[in-house]
Amino acid sequence: MARREPEICSSAWTAPGLLTLVLFVGCEWNRPAQALADSSPLAVSDKTPPAPSEKRLQTDDSEESNSPVQTAAFSQRQPDPAQVAVRVRAQVNGVAILDSEVKEACYPQLLATQSLPEPERSARRAEIFRQQLEQIIDREVILQDLYQRLAKQKRVLEKLDEAADKEFDKRLKTIKEHNKNIKTDEDLKKAFTSMNLSIDGFRRQVKRDFMAREYMRNLVFPTVDSGIGLPQIREYYMQHPEEFKQDDRVEWQDIFVDQSKYASREEARRTAQYVAKLASSGQDFLKLSAQYDKENSGFGKAEGLGQKRGEIRPTECEAYLFQLKPGEVGPVIELPTGFHVFRLVKREFAGQTPFNDQVQDEIRKKLQMQIAEREWKYMLTDLKKKARVQILAD
């Protein structure tokens, strides 16, 4: 079955997250996997983790916990017993994962398939559903561990819930921005209703995803920078030269003197030559652009179009740009519609990118991501080994 790996943001490993300073200072995920010391207020029991704090469909005879966590968790309506058999897709420690919540979790992806023809649309939706089911199983395992550890940390759960609400608001805004047919809250509601889904259900999925990611992120965080120093960064640089090749490229600025703005072509030419003279004397190119090329000065700080050979526009500027020195102004380029005054800002020659601070920072982030992904997978695998997971047939 195809799988999509957990979404891990590279910036997540550069600073402690929401829970770190409150809970996990000094805590580590030991190898081989084992419970935290019994003396810790967050000690993990060797027993099977309880169901999440929210009220969920129980498929065994276990009783719900009266933990304080339950008062701060998300609520979910109890399903109609007559529909349980067809709606349960999986169980994690006796907690059911319903067909409806899988659909709610992958709503944006399902929405994006509406324009596909059949049978491609049905096949794509089935694949999305399978992938999402696996992710929800993983999430359920993580959340059960979260609720177990934070049973006495009500205030922390409240803060986490507030942060999850903000995350949901961002997701809703993104959906509206990327779907032309959804302009108002009413349009959004109709779109959900058309697929037999609810915004409240989608909110629940987004918030639970956020909580699970935040929890795992903070478990992983203490190990991310472990062993990453200048020697390791330099070793990566030497062993992966193909990643640090740079093309011959230029950064340049351009002022277009539009002939149509002047009484005659000759007047436009004289203006361009005058601007070139001012630029060559050291006057601020951006100010000149704002004065003589108002229509384009606001886009990219008068940046010239293209940076590599074959990309430069207009093409007549290319040969000069790769001969100039930074700061130099080229000859006025004459075109049927007007005149270009251009200046070279920066030149990079083809070859190996220098081992500078920027490259070192990029490598450090790559190594952090590698460690984060490895630890994430390890921790999730360990949690799933302790859980009772059952996937039910359609």
37-91 pLDDT per residue, tens: 332 223 333 333 333 334 444 444 343 333 333 333 333 344 444 444 457 889 9
Q: Give pLDDT, residue 327.
A: 95
Backbone dihedral angles phi then psi of residue 91, each to the nearest 5 degrees: -135, 140
Average pLDDT over residues 100-110: 81
Q: Is the pLDDT of residue 261 over 50?
A: yes
Q: Is the pLDDT of residue 319 over 70?
A: yes
- Characterise 105 by phi-psi region: left (phi > 0), alpha (psi -120 to 50), beta (else): alpha
Which tens digits make up the pLDDT trace of 185-209?
Answer: 888 888 878 776 788 888 888 898 8
Contact between residue 341 and residue 252 where contact means Cβ atoms under 8 Å apart: no
Read off the pTM: 0.54
Q: Give pLDDT, residue 78.
A: 46
**Residue linked to tokens 């982030």:** 365
Domain ranges of the chain: 10-225+375-391, 248-349
DSSP strands (E only) in 241-307: 245-246, 249-258
Q: Which two tokens stand for residue 86?
A: 């067809």
Instruction: Look at the domain 248-349 and name its fold.
Output: Chitinase A; domain 3 (3.10.50)
pLDDT-above-70 percentage for the chain:
76
Query: What band does 271 get if pLDDT is binned at 50, 70 and 90?
Result: very high
Which tens digits make up the pLDDT trace of 7-19?
Answer: 444 444 444 444 4
Q: Is the pLDDT of residue 393 over 50?
A: yes
Q: Give pLDDT, residue 296.
A: 66
CA 24, CA 18: separation in Å to the nearest integer? 10
Backbone dihedral angles phi then psi of residue 348, each to the nearest 5 degrees: -120, 130
Backbone dihedral angles phi then psi of residue 57, each to the nearest 5 degrees: -65, 125
